[in-house]
Structure 1
Amino acid sequence: MKNLFLSAAIVLGGLTSFASTSPISNTIVKTISVQEEYTEIKLEEVPAAVTDALKKAYPDAVLNKAYKNATSQYKLEVTVGDKVGSLYANADGSWIKK
């Protein structure tokens, strides 16, 4: 009889763990991106200070495209080896982290 009550208690105790519900949390993430307007320019229009800084920092880099915004910041699309990326610089050739 003790075994019957003990086994019934174990079975009921095991079933209660399955019946418990976990709290549901809704996480809403809103991403707001502020994008500066860059307009494409000719490669010849990039200031010499910027191209010199590019040659100094990345001697093997190939400048593919160049963009300029209203505050005279430049976005440079470059290829170094097999990697393609974007670099940002001021008109004086100093790099900007973005």
Structure 2
Amino acid sequence: MKKVFFALALVMGLGTTVAFASNLSSTEVTTVTNVNDFTPVEVKDLPKAVQDVLANSYKDFTIKAAAVETAEDGTSVYQITLVNAEGEESVVLFNEKGEVVK
């Protein structure tokens, strides 16, 4: 008799799990992407503060590319691609004040 009750409880438990699992399935898929929208700019168009930092602190590097991204609040981030003497590239982000952004 105990075996019958155990089997009945097991079947009821599994049946309930399957019923709840079918309610949890969703066919809707949402894709979220975070894309930086940097626009290329000329080095001469960078803010003076950024140009000064590049001239003083990164004088051993060659500037390969410069780009800007403006946020909804009006602040800008400048993406500068630098190349060292060995040809290795690195990207540095600056704010409008010439401070490095992490």
Same fold (TM over 0.5): yes
Give the aligned partner of residue 11 of structure 2: none
Give the aligned partner of residue 99 of structure 2: 94
Give the aligned partner of residue 90 of structure 2: 85
Q: Check conservation: 1:77, 1:84, Cα contact below 8 A.
A: yes
SS at match of 1:69: strand
Amino acid of the residue matched to residue 98 of structure 2?
G
Give the aligned partner of residue 57 of structure 1: 57
| Post-superposition offset of 1:59 | 2.2
Give the aligned partner of residue 45 of structure 1: 45
Give the aligned partner of residue 5 of structure 2: none
How many Å separate the matches in 2 of 1:63 and 1:47? 15
How many Å separate the matches in 2 of 1:73 and 1:56? 19
Q: Check conservation: 1:55, 1:61, Cα contact below 8 A.
A: no
How many Å separate the matches in 1 of 2:48 and 2:60? 17
Q: What percent identity do the matched residue pairs reach?
A: 23
How many Å separate the matches in 1 of 2:58 and 2:67? 18
Greater gyration radius:
1
Q: How many residues align?
A: 66
Name stretches of at least 5 consecutive residues in structure 1 with no aligned partner: 1-31
Name stretches of at least 5 consecutive residues in structure 2 with no aligned partner: 1-31
Give the aligned partner of residue 27 of structure 1: none
| Post-superposition offset of 1:87 | 0.6
SS at match of 2:97: coil
| Post-superposition offset of 1:33 | 5.4
How many Å separate the matches in 1 of 2:59 and 2:41? 22
